[in-house]
Amino acid sequence: MRFSFTEEQLVLRDTVTAVLADWCTPGDLHELYANDAPDAGRSHPRWNALFNLGITALHIPEVDGGLGLDDRELIAISEAAGRVALPEPLSETAGVVVPILVASGAGHHALEPFLDGGGAATLGGVTFTPSGPRIASVADGHRVRTSGITQATASHHLLAVSSASGPELHLAVTADGDLTRTTSLDRTRRLGTLTWTPTDATRLATGPLAATLLDQAVNRAALYSAAELLGLCDAMITLTAVYVSERKQFGVPVGSFQAVKHHLAGARVKLEFARPAVYAAAWSLATEHPSATHDISLAKSLASDAADEAARVSLQCHGAIGYTFEHDLHLLMKRAWALSAAWGDARSHRARLLNLLQAERSVLPS
Amino acid sequence: MDLTFTPEHDAFRMEARAWLEANVPPPGALRSLDTAEGFDDHRVFERQLFDARWSVVSWPKAYGGREVGIMEWLIFEEEYYRAGGPRRVSQNGIFLLAPTMFEYATDAQLERYMAKMASGEEIWCQGWSEPDAGSDLAGIRSKATKTDGGWLLSGQKTWCSRGAFAHRCFGIFRTDPSAERHRGLTYFLIPMDAPGVTVRPIAQLDGETGFAEVFFDEVFVPDEDVLGTIGDGWKVAMATAGSERGISLRSPARYTEAADKLVDLLLATPVDEGHHLDPRSAIADEVMKAYADAQAYKLHTYMTATKVREGHTVGAEASATKIFWSETDVAIHRAALRLLGESAELEVDDGRGGTDLSEWLDGYLFALSGPIYAGTNEIQRNVVAERMLGLPRA
């Protein structure tokens, strides 16, 4: 039992944090709200700066040219990406798509873009339900329409399901399909719908393997959303703590009032206790522990609730200035709202936890 | 990062489990801790624990411990609650005073008190709060004046858990009448049978005398029973307060065990009595939220234990921890009472021809004291805001 990061893991996280500080400022996000070119993300220097750190190859074995690391490293990096509301699919690429490619047995060709091709990838066409993934791709003639894709316009590749003849997992090239933007409250999520053509070249897995990988992909998406929520939570609470320490009313900083303190302390406590659950779930996933599914639902339910609370009290403690479009808070808050609901909200994950515990009790003697 | 236990840990767990399964009395066998008879029943069990060297596993062997680390202590606690072990009558001594003693006591004081504390021969109560010094502990007015060979203590302490039956008291008194607030306080170890001590038991919500008021009228305490140095009482007390709020008072096993039983209760509740098993139902979600919080507390404790083992100290985080475990405890028991519905208020057969509170109701009443004692959660939220978030003091 040693429940902490290693020095190397912390150094890696801090390296990424430093790059993010340079390349993903609130000003950059405001700019993206104001002026987001449809394919800006795919060639953005910010993505290149992150790619050059090798994060997308983190899960690829060393023998294949990757870093040979796992979720124990990536979870802290993803938390750091959440802290700045990164508008590129770092977690999706490194935490979801690449590990699924590796697990699918895809060859070097499929991994190539993530080793040195600047590849960014995301997941779509599937949603979380307490009883398992629900396929949300729709057949459109011989093509497939996949909606609800996050960071769609910033991604070169899409891990998607076609269910024409049983679930099949594909890695589609977004540029080969027709991508349309879906507008949403958090414009930096860059949601989209891709209409694409499944071919032998895009197919990764069929049958039971496809079902297993799909399950893993959704679990991974839930875990990495939870990690980003931790970062968002921390960023919102920190931003608000600084604001209420400076903002004066009645001649004193409003942060000296107990009502304000208690709002923020409550949010901080929720974050404090969500964090170990997220790290533990990363450990379970990396070590293929039998409790991984349980641990991921635990992590996502706690992180979603913590982020909802942090967003709520941060807005309240900022007063009217936090309600403005020009303030930084909404950049974080809108992402937190979206990720809190994405890949299973808190209640859906608690429902899955109950399903798991019920199944466990029905096979074990009491 | 490694969340598995070593083979040595597993062996330790199995040894504890075997002893506890053979020796923990069945539910209801011991009378209530907060009655004179029950107090003695619980001391008999403490003696058994001590004789088998399970009462204070992390302590030095000289005082009845096994000198094992914090992980082993957590494992023992998990097994203790798994086995349904009774509430620890010696807890104020072994969990609150002891860590402070190991930090501040002289060798002679350790010799005099620790083994008797560990065996349940001497039960300790806490003499901190006063009628006008609760959350504002620095407002203490009870005083100690110097006399030949010791001090004369006068004043009033209140809300002393187990004060009605305890043998000794650890308390803070003002030794410098000209000093204010946190200064001029001194920490004393006081015999409850000394002349001048008057105990007035106070009945708690359940009607039993779990705590007491204690009056001091020129009670003599020798110099050798000052803990730490004269005037340093606040600093010494804060060591105890950290233990009280941090991990040493409330091990996560207490909550994970209760939460597991709560899930069992949910699953055993017939579906036709309110559709409780529908995962969308409000009560099922409430149960699972309590379960998730108990699990979160366990994982947080493992993380804290790792930090402690690697030489870090627990500071203001202890306040966050206290808020979390006390509110989790309330949430678990409140959900159980909701599941029991109208029958929740009923007492149950105590096996001795009478009735007693059900385990859930008793647990709920006990849980409700959590957000109040050891520094109210309102005070803890101030600490979190000021010391973890850097907000300005009022």
pLDDT the model gives residue A235: 98
Please answer whether residues A324 and A315 qualify as being in contact, where contact means their C-beta atoms are separated by less than 8 angstroms.
no
> Strands of A178-181's sheet, edge to edge?
A138-140, A143-149, A192-196, A178-181
Nearest Cβ partner for A280 among B3, B264, B284? B3
Query: Does the annotation count B180 as an active-site position?
Result: no
Mutate to test the interface with A, among B288, B298, B326 (most CBs of A within 10 A): B288
Q: What is the pLDDT of residues B64-88, one digit of tens each?
A: 999 999 899 999 999 999 999 999 9
Which residue among the candidates B77, B130, B213, B244 is catalytic per the annotation?
B244
First and final CA of chain B: distance in angstroms? 40
Distance CA(B246)–CA(B308), nearest Å, equals 11
**DSSP class per residue in A186-233:** SGGG--EEEEE---TTTEEEEHHHHHHHHHHHHHHHHHHHHHHHHHHH
Strand B124-127 vs strand B185-191: parallel, antiparallel, or unpaired? unpaired
CATH superfamily of A210-363: Butyryl-CoA Dehydrogenase, subunit A, domain 3 (1.20.140.10)
The sign of the dihedral angle between the CA atoms of A19, A20, A24, A26 is negative
Could you tell me the CA-to-CA distances from B105 to B94, B126, B143, B244 in Å, in that order? 14, 17, 21, 18
Please answer whether residues B122 and B93 qualify as being in contact, where contact means their C-beta atoms are separated by less than 8 angstroms.
yes
What is the average pLDDT across B4-20?
Answer: 97
Burial of A365 (C-beta count, 10 Å sphere; 0-12/13-18/19+):
exposed
The sign of the dihedral angle between the CA atoms of A76, A78, A79, A80 is positive
Q: Which residues of A201-219 are buried (b: 16+ CB within 10 A; e: fewer)?
A: ebebbeeeebbebbebbbb
**DSSP class per residue in A330-350:** HHHHHHHHHHHHTTS-HHHHH
**DSSP class per residue in B156-208:** EEEEEETTTT-SEEEEEEES-TT--TTSSEEEEEEETTSTTEEEEEE--TTSS
CA atoms within 13 A on the CB side of B5: 17
pLDDT the model gives residue A362: 83
Distance CA(B113)–CA(B122), nearest Å, equals 8
Q: Residue B130: left if φ>0, alpha if ψ -120 to 50, beta else—which one? A: beta
Distance CA(A100)–CA(A212), nearest Å, equals 10
Distance CA(A134)–CA(A130), nearest Å, equals 10
- Is B323 within 8 Å of chain A by CB? yes
The sign of the dihedral angle between the CA atoms of A283, A287, A289, A293 is positive
- CB within 8 Å: A276 and B299: yes
* Closest alpha carbon within chain B to A8: B1
Please answer whether residues B324 and A269 qualify as being in contact, where contact means their C-beta atoms are separated by less than 8 angstroms.
yes
pLDDT the model gives residue B277: 59
Go through the domains of chain B in sequence order and give each one's CATH number.
Answer: 7-89 (no CATH), 124-237 (2.40.110.10), 246-388 (1.20.140.10)
The beta strands (E) that lie in chain A are given as 121-123, 126-127, 134-135, 138-140, 143-149, 157-162, 168-173, 178-181, 192-196, 203-206, 248-249, 252-253
* Closest alpha carbon within chain B to A302: B292
Q: Distance, in angstroms, between A210 CA and closest chain B CA? A: 27
Strand A248-249 vs strand B348-349: parallel, antiparallel, or unpaired? unpaired
Nearest Cβ partner for A3 among B3, B291, B381? B3
Q: Distance, in angstroms, between B76 CA and closest chain A CA? A: 15
Confidence of residue B315 (pLDDT cuts 50, 70, 90): confident
Q: What is the pLDDT of residues A191-235, one digit of tens each?
A: 999 999 999 999 999 999 999 999 999 999 999 999 999 999 999
Distance CA(A43)–CA(A155), nearest Å, equals 10
Please answer whether residues B176 and B231 qualify as being in contact, where contact means their C-beta atoms are separated by less than 8 angstroms.
yes
Beta carbons within 8 Å of B384's beta carbon, 6+ residues apart: A265, A268, A269, B316, B319, B320, B323
Alpha helices in B248-392 (DSSP H): 253-268, 282-309, 317-340, 359-369, 377-383
Distance CA(A283)–CA(A73), nearest Å, equals 10
Residue at A219: amino acid letter: N
Q: Say whether B361 sits in a helix, a strand or coil.
A: helix
Please answer whether residues B324 and B317 qualify as being in contact, where contact means their C-beta atoms are separated by less than 8 angstroms.
no
Distance CA(B156)–CA(B214), nearest Å, equals 6
- The DSSP output letter for B32 is P
- Matching residue, tokens 């709920």: B364
Distance CA(A24)–CA(A17), nearest Å, equals 10
Whether B181 shows a pLDDT value over 60: the answer reads: yes
- Is B282 within 8 Å of chain A by CB? no
Nearest Cβ partner for A241 among B267, B317, B390? B390
- CB within 8 Å: B323 and A269: yes
**For each of chain A's 366 residues, which pLDDT tens digit applies?**
999 999 999 999 999 999 999 999 999 999 999 887 665 556 688 999 999 999 999 999 999 999 999 999 999 999 999 999 999 999 999 999 999 999 999 888 899 999 988 999 999 989 999 999 998 888 888 999 999 899 998 999 999 988 766 789 999 999 999 999 988 999 999 999 999 999 999 999 999 999 999 999 999 999 999 999 999 999 999 999 999 999 999 999 999 999 999 999 999 999 999 999 999 999 999 999 999 999 999 999 999 999 999 999 999 999 999 999 999 999 999 999 999 999 999 999 999 999 999 999 887 554
Query: What pTM did the predictor assign?
Result: 0.96
Q: Residue B227: which of B130, B119, B127 has the closest Cα?
A: B127
- CB within 8 Å: A2 and B2: yes
**DSSP class per residue in B199-244:** EEEE--TTSS--EEEEEEEEEEEEGGGEES-TTBHHHHHHHHHHHH
Give B299's contacts in chain A (Cβ within 8 Å). 3, 276-277, 279-280
The two tokens of residue B343 are 């029958």
Could you tell me the CA-to-CA distances from A124 to A74, A128, B306 in Å, in that order? 21, 11, 38
- CB within 8 Å: B299 and A280: yes
Q: What is the pLDDT of residues A304-313, one digit of tens each?
A: 999 999 999 9
Please answer whether residues B190 and B153 qualify as being in contact, where contact means their C-beta atoms are separated by less than 8 angstroms.
yes
What was the ipTM of the complex prediction?
0.96
Q: Residue A79: which of A258, A345, A339 has the closest Cα?
A: A339
